[in-house]
Amino acid sequence: MLYALGEILLVVIGILIALQINNWNENLKKQNLEREYLVSLKEEFKNNSLALNKAVILNKENADNALKMSNFMGPDTPEITEKEFAVLAMNMTNWEVQYRPNKAVLDEIISSGKLAIFSNNKLKFALSSSNGILTKIKFQEEEHAVVRMQVIAIMNAKGNAKKMILDAEGETFGIKESKFKLGNLQLLQSQELENELIDFILTARYLNENYYSDLKKEIDLVLELIDAELTE
């Protein structure tokens, strides 16, 4: 009987050891997968941080050019040349401001339910809430884009688009000099354009100072949390 009990005890111990080894292997796999995702996320968020910085710079430049133009506006004869006006107008409206991050790694983690493998709760929350922040940013970008198109519409309706392009950039895309004599400086005497420029400036500044700035803090936080996990 003692021998039989000994055999049973050995079997139980063997099973417990096997379970312990299996658990250790599963934990090791989980830790390795977590680290792989952390490394990939770090690269993704670093690239997105660079993309955000470019959007912030472009948005600021657009708003700065709009502000310069608005300062020349009024009922008097404009103190600016046709070429200077054209350069300001083209630099202000040529590029739409959009922040479109690469979310391939983050989307894979969330859609596959792998978010649970991360041991840091702050990191999990930051990753899971990032899409909500991006939705708010996209809404504000669209608000600003509407104003931008209204500015362009006024300049197209009351100005000379051909002359503006040629004055700012010279002959491009085969565009030749306009046969109409209308210039663009008279746009600076338009109250309608001035009003739209103010909206353009305000929506641009608001986008940078209240949306992009908050996103920058979130990206920096995620990168800080990832670095802390990778250095453990």
The pLDDT, as a whole number, for residue 33 is 87
For the four alpha carbons of 60, 45, 144 and 140, in that order, the dihedral sign comes to: negative
The pLDDT, as a whole number, for residue 6 is 67
d(CA 223, CA 186): 50
Which residues of the chain fall short of a pLDDT of 70? 1-6, 8, 10-12, 14, 16, 18, 21-28
The pLDDT, as a whole number, for residue 126 is 93
Q: Which of 151, 147, 139, 137 has the alpha carbon at shortest distance from 209?
A: 137
Residue 63, C-beta contacts closer than 8 angstroms, at least 6 positions apart? 200, 201, 204, 205, 208
The pLDDT, as a whole number, for residue 131 is 87
CA atoms in the 13 A half-sphere facing the CB of 162: 9
- The angle that helices 2-72 and 191-206 make with each other, rounded to 10 degrees, is 160
The pLDDT, as a whole number, for residue 51 is 97
